[in-house]
Structure 1
Amino acid sequence: MKTIDTVHALIQRIIQPCFPCQLCGIDAQQSHSLCQQCWQQLPWLKDTILRQHRPIQIALNYTFPIDRIIQSYKYEQQLHFQNLLTQSLISLNLSQVQAIVPMPISTERLRERGYNQMLIIANRMAQQFNIPVWQPVLRLAQHSQKGLSRVERMQNIEQQFQIIKSERRKYRKVLIIDDVVTTGSSVDALANALEKLGCQHIDIACIAAAQQ
């Protein structure tokens, strides 16, 4: 019986080749692209914080190595981290929603990076949850906040998010996703725009939370 089990295990290894962990490069990666030890040693938070009077579910603290991973994924086109970051969000106790809304980026930022990092993750999550990705809000160019008062900064961010008037789809219960939350101003502005579209229940989940 042992021999049969051993042969079966070898066959499974051949059919499903093992890839090294994306962090340590030693042990075999699991479904989240890390080995089990590296996954467990990430700076997990898995808690809900309050920003701009809105509850936000957070997967991780924005410390090493997740800060470097997010920066590499976002600014250095290290797209192989997309599965790890997607799975960190999926590991949260997310409620059922009708659609996923990724944080939009401006056309200028899209030209610089070549992709919206959160749209990639939203597409992966949508596929797993079998729900649509919804992008009914545009983000205009981001201007410098230097020299502005707190109220002026808030108004500046609010004005960046513009509803697409031609959008016909409507969802009442949605999930906003973003990579890093600090003050929460951006997710709050996006949520305000979605409320104007008739969304009645808006969940927010971020990969990591940074100190304010």
Structure 2
Amino acid sequence: MFNLIKSATSQLSTLDTCQLCGVDAQAMHSICQDCWNNLPWYKQNIQRQEIDISVACYYAYPIDRIIQKFKYEQQLHYQTLLAAVLKEVRIPKVQAIVPMPISNERLVERGFNQALVLAQILTKDLNIPVWQPISRSNQYSQKGLNRLERLENIDTQFEINELSKIKYRRVLILDDVVTTGSSIHALKLKLEELGCQKIYATCLAYADN
């Protein structure tokens, strides 16, 4: 059923057809109704590191490929679809959205922070700001590390920026894919240092370790 469009050029020539199957007419969020219904929906909460994380989908085809193309191949036309997927989960009443930070090295490599792009779409709908009080350095791959190694690796990566007069008590952490939840946990600890009292988290997809 799903047949991801391989290039931006082919998509430009089929503006009215589904971005996934490339056959049926777009019905919502740039894809057809059938493709939308058959995304690997999860729409539940999982608990990682004692944090409840609302998850839109399983990290399975085709959402996994869409995220990869968006994140690593700069196919930014998928941002509308991915933001719509996030809107399918319950978003709590918060004062600001905190996109998962990426290191400067990752930013140069990719050209953008995928979580920030999606957060900017959501904040327009929710009429709340994007808040980025935490920066990230020394970002290394977590692949192949066990739970303890991931926690030790992550804990040293997040740093509080210069303290701002603007602070929020209720915030939402936004990430793309969650596995162990170690990144969300480390970010949550830093936000607590800034005085945040209610910290929620949501992500596009849940992947097994």
TM bucket (normalised to shorter chain) is 0.7 to 0.9
Give 2:44's aligned amino acid.
D
Q: How big is the shift at 1:127?
A: 0.6
Q: How big is the shift at 1:145?
A: 6.1
Greater fraction of residues in helix: 1
TM-score (normalised: structure 1): 0.87
| Corresponding position: 1:44 with 2:52 | no
Matches for 1:17-166 after TM superposition, within 5 Å: 19-143=16-140, 150-166=147-163
Report percent identity of matched pairs: 57
Match of 2:165 among 157, 161, 168: 168
Q: Is this contact kept in 1: 2:102–2:139, CA < 8 A?
A: no
Q: How big is the shift at 1:197?
A: 0.6
Match of 2:188 among 177, 185, 191: 191
Q: How big is the shift at 1:82?
A: 0.4
5+ residue gaps, structure 1, are 1-17
Give 2:156's aligned amino acid.
Q
What SS is found at the alignment partner of 1:87?
helix
Q: How big is the shift at 1:56?
A: 0.4
Give 1:73's aligned amino acid.
F
Q: How big is the shift at 1:30?
A: 3.2
Matches for 1:198-209 after TM superposition, within 5 Å: 198-209=195-206
In 2: Cα distance, 1:117 partner to 1:81 partner:
11
In 1: Cα distance, 2:177 partner to 2:124 partner:
22
CA shift digits 1:95-133 (9 cap, x unpaired): 111000100000000000011011110000001111100
Q: How big is the shift at 1:29?
A: 1.8
TM-score (normalised: structure 2): 0.88
Deviation beyond 3 Å, 4+ runs, structure 1: 143-153
Q: How big is the shift at 1:155?
A: 2.5
Query: Pairwise CA RMSD of aligned residues?
Result: 1.8
Q: How big is the shift at 1:59?
A: 0.2
Q: Is this contact kept in 1: 2:52–2:201, CA < 8 A?
A: yes
What SS is found at the alignment partner of 2:167?
coil
What SS is found at the alignment partner of 2:156?
helix
5+ residue gaps, structure 2, are 1-14
Q: Is this contact kept in 1: 2:150–2:182, CA < 8 A?
A: no
In 2: Cα distance, 1:203 partner to 1:112 partner:
29
Report which of the two structures shows the higher radius of gyration computed on alpha carbons.
1
In 1: Cα distance, 2:107 partner to 2:144 partner:
26
CA shift digits 1:168-203 (9 cap, x unpaired): 210011111100000100011111111111111111
Give 1:77's aligned amino acid.
Q
Q: Is this contact kept in 1: 2:170–2:198, CA < 8 A?
A: yes
Give 1:83's aligned amino acid.
T
CA shift digits 1:11-55 (9 cap, x unpaired): xxxxxxx72111012222234221111100000000000111111
CA shift digits 1:83-106 (9 cap, x unpaired): 111111111111111000100000
Indicate how the Cα distance of structure 1 residues 147 and 59 shifts in structure 2: closer, same or farther if over 3 A, else same.
Answer: closer
- The aligned length equals 195
